[in-house]
Structure 1
């Protein structure tokens, strides 16, 4: 019954004999009835970014409460630093921990942070400006979401990596849909609520209420998805591969585990370098400098909101395109990830160049292209990479790719602090 992962890996490289074997056995694979598993993984992808987005969406309110503080940049650093603490630990001890437990613990931490934030506002800050104890508590809660995000994102992407590529694609469509959702919420609150202290506070509360609701749904969905026949099928493939390997090599501990982990990291290094370059480029530009340094006399404070929405819509489009056309060449995708560095001088020209290109249209077009390439290349590399290792290591490979992604985020956010644009 089980398809050996070596055959699957060979099929990913274009081995026609292995492809034929997989097609012959495809009839044995349970159907994803009503695309339920796909929808759940899409929802899980949307969910793990929402807590972070809730804090970023409420940046107007936090800026009002704590004037003079670079909220965007501080929040980004706090979140990423804690992710960089959790993800390497998850990778190093993946053979001793269970993704199911890690993900549920991560969701619990998400809920603690999301419920605590409105509680602190109502009981301590009370909408008063300059209560910096509330600011430090908020930064701490952002850090907690970073820790939780490492647990949840690493686990969800890792789980999806054990499945056919469409489920990894679903996760990343979900992450992009999350961006569109939060942008829509920001536009609605900006249009419906007065942009004074009370209106900003109401908007912030709405962000956290919506996010808490989605987190609760995600907990239910994640604890249901493992019972679906199609997911059980691939879980059994993984279990069979692990048992077979154990018979030949023994328990995966000590020196054997370190050697295996090193091989996995080595197999991911070029995919990972592409992920680093994608997010180094994106975070150097978006959201910090792009939303803080561009100005429009016509659109005024709606300009950054429109740019963020444009980026998120095209990021969603890029991640969705892989369901229609998936680039087969990892090498081309990796090269394209490095070519994206050209966005930096292009944006520099839009910010400091001739008046003709410092207008809304060139910046908006460039921002949409930034989102489109970010989404498509991320989805391509994340789909292809886990298929290059054996199925029992696909989860770890996916988590390693997430670590590379976060390293790219960290470097990119650091570059944005340097105000190179």
Structure 2
């Protein structure tokens, strides 16, 4: 261990963690991007459900996701991170199989039952995905900071890939067939995560850093709780100290995802073009889903190349993004019911702001997640990484709560 550390040849560990980042958001992205399939096809005869589909999905996905992320940190569950990752992936695959079966059957006579079965699937998917996501960030935190960035990169790439998957699935003759292949693709992504995880211990670079951590465990057993070994650990992790030392970066992570999810996808996808026919029938898919996810991916790349703002000043960058919330509300959001005037009357300006929203989300979230583990002692880096992941999901949930105010804010009496 005194020799120079081995290199990550061909960036294999970086790629594997990026794949796992992709897997952490595949379920969420697939269900929100398939909005038209659920709203216009499966739930066409159930307006009471179709009109609030994204809101229901958001709650069903992110409440258990947030809850289980925090439980995974504080409650000493049995089994190593490997056990958690493997079992959570296997259960997610099984639930996706059920989703494919639901796509195969004709549910036109029982849309309410289909809706609630879908919501239960989303709830279970994200409960186990929370354990998977949190554990993956714990694994990445053992490595240099850029490997946490790899997980964030994968999660941002996920949305872009899902948009193209959605477009590709539209090539089939029927929505039923396209939905079947669309969700089957999600199964393959999760199976890829399952396979590549077992390649980690075969890599010298990963083994080197894993051995370093095991040596730290022998010196300071407090870190062992992040691995949840079977034997009891008497030494307590100083959660208060970790929260205090990482508080600024935890704020950055929270506020980035709060602002992003306060706008995307609920408010963002209900903005209509000012100019009739702008981008044709793909306006929402391009300006909302594709632009946000593509620019978030670009933001993640720029963060890995250019760590600016620095750890000290990142809070300024993330706080300024709060101004994007009133901006998007001033766009042509819910024109059929809004009473407030539309102040942003140029589709290109709106699209540019959409690109800024996506890029700043990817850049800011990547920096926050990379910085959070370096704010604490090395033996607590994995815990800080897991707390950062839980804070991320808490920000998402907070943003989703805010979206319920969107319609009310634009229907206030004009002054």
TM tier, shorter chain? 0.7 to 0.9
Q: Paired residue for 1:272?
A: 250
In structure 2, C-alpha distance between the alignment counterparts of 1:181 and 1:143, rounded to whole Å:
23
- Please tell me whether the aligned partners of residues 25 and 158 of structure 2 are also in contact (alpha carbons under 8 angstroms): yes
Once the two structures are TM-superposed, the CA of residue 285 in structure 1 deviates from its matched residue by: 0.8
- Please tell me whether the aligned partners of residues 95 and 252 of structure 1 are also in contact (alpha carbons under 8 angstroms): no
Q: Paired residue for 1:321?
A: 302
Once the two structures are TM-superposed, the CA of residue 346 in structure 1 deviates from its matched residue by: 1.5
Once the two structures are TM-superposed, the CA of residue 120 in structure 1 deviates from its matched residue by: 2.9
Q: 2:366 aligns with which of 379, 382, 386?
A: 379
Which stretches in structure 1 are left out of the alignment for 5+ residues?
3-26
Q: Paired residue for 2:211?
A: 236
**What is the TM-score of this pair, normalised by structure 1?**
0.86
Q: Paired residue for 2:345?
A: 358
Q: Paired residue for 1:183?
A: 163
Aligned length: 387
In structure 1, C-alpha distance between the alignment counterparts of 2:321 and 2:70, rounded to whole Å:
27
Alignment deviations for residues 202-247 of structure 1 (CA, whole Å, 9 cap, x no partner): 2221221111011111101011112211111111111111101249
Q: Which moved more, 1:200-209 or 1:134-143?
A: 200-209
- Please tell me whether the aligned partners of residues 268 and 400 of structure 1 are also in contact (alpha carbons under 8 angstroms): no
In structure 1, C-alpha distance between the alignment counterparts of 2:216 and 2:388, rounded to whole Å:
22
In structure 2, C-alpha distance between the alignment counterparts of 1:289 and 1:355, rounded to whole Å:
14
Q: Paired residue for 1:140?
A: 120
Q: Paired residue for 1:344?
A: 325
In structure 2, C-alpha distance between the alignment counterparts of 1:382 and 1:401, rounded to whole Å:
6
- Secondary structure at the counterpart of residue 350 of structure 1: coil
Q: Paired residue for 2:401?
A: 414
Alignment deviations for residues 66-107 of structure 1 (CA, whole Å, 9 cap, x no partner): 232211111111111111221111110358642111111210
Q: Which moved more, 1:164-173 or 1:128-137?
A: 128-137
Q: Paired residue for 2:69?
A: 87
Once the two structures are TM-superposed, the CA of residue 265 in structure 1 deviates from its matched residue by: 2.5
Alignment deviations for residues 169-211 of structure 1 (CA, whole Å, 9 cap, x no partner): 2111111111110111223334x246xxxx3222221221111
In structure 2, C-alpha distance between the alignment counterparts of 1:274 and 1:88, rounded to whole Å:
18
Q: Paired residue for 2:314?
A: 333
- Residue 65 (structure 2) pairs with residue 65 (structure 1): no
Alignment deviations for residues 320-365 of structure 1 (CA, whole Å, 9 cap, x no partner): 1122211262231122111110001211222378767323211110
- Secondary structure at the counterpart of residue 310 of structure 1: helix
Once the two structures are TM-superposed, the CA of residue 142 in structure 1 deviates from its matched residue by: 0.3
Q: 2:263 aligns with which of 285, 298, 310?
A: 285
Q: 1:394 aligns with which of 381, 391, 403?
A: 381
- Residue 349 (structure 2) pairs with residue 370 (structure 1): no
Q: Paired residue for 1:208?
A: 183
Q: Paired residue for 2:151?
A: 171
- Please tell me whether the aligned partners of residues 105 and 151 of structure 1 are also in contact (alpha carbons under 8 angstroms): no
- Please tell me whether the aligned partners of residues 78 and 139 of structure 1 are also in contact (alpha carbons under 8 angstroms): yes
1:106-125 equivalence runs, <5 A:
106-122=88-104, 125=105
- Please tell me whether the aligned partners of residues 350 and 362 of structure 1 are also in contact (alpha carbons under 8 angstroms): no
- Residue 195 (structure 2) pairs with residue 220 (structure 1): yes
When the two chains are superposed, the root-mean-square deviation of aligned CA atoms in Å is 2.4
Give the structure with the larger helix fraction.
1
- Secondary structure at the counterpart of residue 30 of structure 1: coil
